[in-house]
A and B are shown apart, each in its own frame.
Chain A
Amino acid sequence: MAKINLLHAINSALDIAMADNDRTVCFGEDVGHFGGVFRATSGLQEKYGKARCFNTPLVEQGIIGFANGLAAQGSVAIAEIQFADYIFPAFDQIVNEAAKFRYRTGNEFNVGKLTIRTPYGGGIAGGLYHSQSPEAYFAHTPGLKVVIPRNPYQAKGLLLASIRDDNPVVFFEPKRLYRASVGEVPEEDYQLPLGKAEVVQTGTDITLLAWGAQMEIIEKAAQLASNDGISCEVVDLRTILPWDIDTISNSVMKTGRLLVSQEAPLTAGFASEIAATIQSECFLHLESPIARVCGLDTPYPLALEKEYVSDHLKVYEAIKKTVNF
């Protein structure tokens, strides 16, 4: 199997989706001839033509409004928002339209064929407008699915599943890993299930849960903890909404402890939702309070990025504190 990076995996998924169905359309700022500022859509315009892969004017609310209309019409709309930090002009189209299309029309119409791809996250010296992790805003919106892959294999399988899922999906891509994360990815078409978490390492003392780029952070922390004789079960949530309560509950009932780590600020992040649900589901199994290792409740900084982020050392310290509670 060929080893490719996360960007190539995304590109491969888009290529398959476009080859598979000639009503699939990819668009966004600079995604046409140039192939996107990160080159995720490289070669698609050459292969499938300007009518199916094109640059849009610079207007996020327009891109998603257009995508809603296109998806309602029955085409497969794959819209790119250049950075997740720039998704907010489209918030109305996503939250009030895409998410509620099926509900408000009594399923006369729906935009299930919509997928919004957008790079998110920090670690690239991007400061407050090129580093945000806004998944919690969208997780608070019934009607949307929110998906975040951790590596190339996951990215391709989850993106293909998102494109074919009959609900609007916001697909956040960890841009720090676009080129940094390399792994074996099948050339052929495959899908990974939405709404299912994945246990990537079994353990007995504590469950570590994260998603996207934060996965490699908790895996590194688990390694440090194992040197201290702490056995960590490492779980990738993969789909933020709707999330896999069973897999997490089962893991926590086994380990008795849970640590959730996210890049986004602490307050009202998705880790908080997980903590609330798991304390309710697993109350009598818990040996210690559920730990959240997150960004501070400030905008994402630039010069002090290292100090701000929930890195492996902060996670490692929280693991020890939780286990020794």
Chain B
Amino acid sequence: MSTELYNDGPVVHQPTFIDGHSVEIPELRILHQDGTTYPGADLPDIDQTLATKIYQTLAFHRVLDERMVASQRQGRLSFYMTALGEEAASVGGAAGLEPQDMIMMQYREQGALMYRGFSLENFMNQLFSNAEDLGKGRQMPIHYGSKALNCMTVSSTLATQIPQATGYAYGQKLQGLDAVTICYFGEGAASEGDFHAGLNMAAVQEAPVIFFCRNNGYAISTPAEEQFRGNGIASRGVGYGIKTIRIDGNDILAVLKATQIARAYAVKESKPVLIEAMSYRLGAHSTSDDPSGYRTKEEEAKWQSNDPILRMKNWMLKQNWWDEAQDTALYEQYREQVLAAVKVAEKIDKPHIDTMITDVYDVPSAQLQAQLDEVKVHIKKYPEAYPFTAGKF
């Protein structure tokens, strides 16, 4: 076997170990927190229309998360996950793509869906597991997805989407499409075997996939320093022979710039790219989690002053593309819309009993049909025990 492909170092005659931390990785920053840009910074391709759409998506994201956590606390919703403090990663990533590109989410990228046009009603129906949910009320809240919007439905199983993204992107390339796949995941999920399999196969099979790591510092309670010891996730891209960039994940312009370049490269070269976006999970892992058990308020405060949405707003104000009055009105409008949508969605019926056996296979088997029939007879006998479905078939 030839080693020429990768052995471009000098031949030595004394043992020479390479330090595990010898890869130095720069981090792209374009925007200061006050909305000014770094001198000489290379701005993304962005105009007022695009900027306004991105900013409105970020604001909507913030409002939806706030309202849904409140709904969960009121007992109206069983579960929720916010992306507080790291909204720029998912929204900016989606904004750097084309609508035909596939988005594969982990579970904290509702921002990408919002940018694509997943409606407020779509969100509500999924969250309330009602009959109008595209996923037919089968998965826990936040497991969104939409074929029409090229957003693969979320699965709770971590990192399984990573090798799938490689395969999906390979199919796009095979078909000659002007399309890539972006695959989101956290720094915790990057410990899974599927991460390594997915990146290696993308490099070897030359798939046009953008691996987008949201390094937000925590996998539930486990801090990044107990998750890995190398130079973040970016250093692994180098190990797999993948073009890699690290960016400030709270800097919307850096996210947009990196994704735009990554897309162009993936399409032109038919090769993968890894983006590591550095951020912080300001919220709890989920509404079932309480971070006070594993981190300090001081640590959180440091990141609160690094808010990606406020940073973009400051930039928009400086551009004279946005003003405070518009901002207040926008948030007010979103709050009212979300509140009204909650009231509608929670009143919609649960999915019909027949959906219990559909989609297990393309067509339900005779055995499944018999099992469903048996359940229906049983519900008719004890209607009070099954209030969601009794009297509705």
Contact = CB atoms under 8 A, between A and B. Distances in A.
B221 A34 contact: yes
A299 B361 CA distance: 11
A129 B157 contact: yes
Given A30-B221, A296-B356, 7 more contacts: A33-B221, A129-B140, A266-B371, A297-B365, A297-B367, A303-B137, A311-B385
A308 B356 contact: yes
Nearest to B193: A61
30 contacts: A30-B220, A34-B293, A34-B294, A37-B221, A58-B188, A58-B222, A59-B192, A59-B193, A86-B158, A89-B193, A127-B140, A127-B156, A129-B140, A130-B156, A296-B356, A297-B360, A297-B367, A298-B356, A299-B138, A299-B360, A301-B137, A301-B356, A303-B388, A307-B356, A307-B379, A307-B386, A308-B356, A314-B378, A317-B378, A317-B381
A89 B379 CA distance: 37
Contact of B140 (A33, A126, A304): A126
Interface in B150-173: 155-158
A206 to B, nearest CB: 19
A29 interface: yes
A301 B191 CA distance: 29
Interface of A: 29-30, 32-35, 37, 54-55, 57-62, 85-86, 88-89, 125-130, 266-267, 296-299, 301-304, 306-308, 311, 313-314, 317
B389 interface: yes
A33 B378 CA distance: 47
A304 B368 CA distance: 15
How would you classify the secondary structure of chain B's contact residues: helix, strand, loop or mixed?
A: loop
Contacts of B129: 302-303
Interface of B: 78-79, 129-130, 137-140, 143, 155-158, 188-189, 191-194, 219-222, 226-228, 288-289, 293-294, 350-351, 353, 355-357, 360, 365, 367-368, 371-372, 375, 378-379, 381-382, 385-386, 388-389
A54 B223 CA distance: 12
B221 A298 contact: no
Nearest to B227: A57
B193 A296 contact: no
A29 B351 contact: no
Contact of A55 (B226, B289, B367): B226
A296 B385 contact: no
B79 A296 contact: no
A62 B194 CA distance: 12
Contact of B158 (A58, A130, A297): A58
Nearest to A124: B78
B319 to A, nearest CB: 40
Nearest to A65: B193
Contact of A304 (B139, B191, B381, B388): B388
A296 B368 contact: yes
B219 A303 contact: no
A129 to B, nearest CB: 4
B388 A296 contact: no
A126 B129 CA distance: 12
Contacts of A129: 139-140, 155-157
A125 B138 contact: no
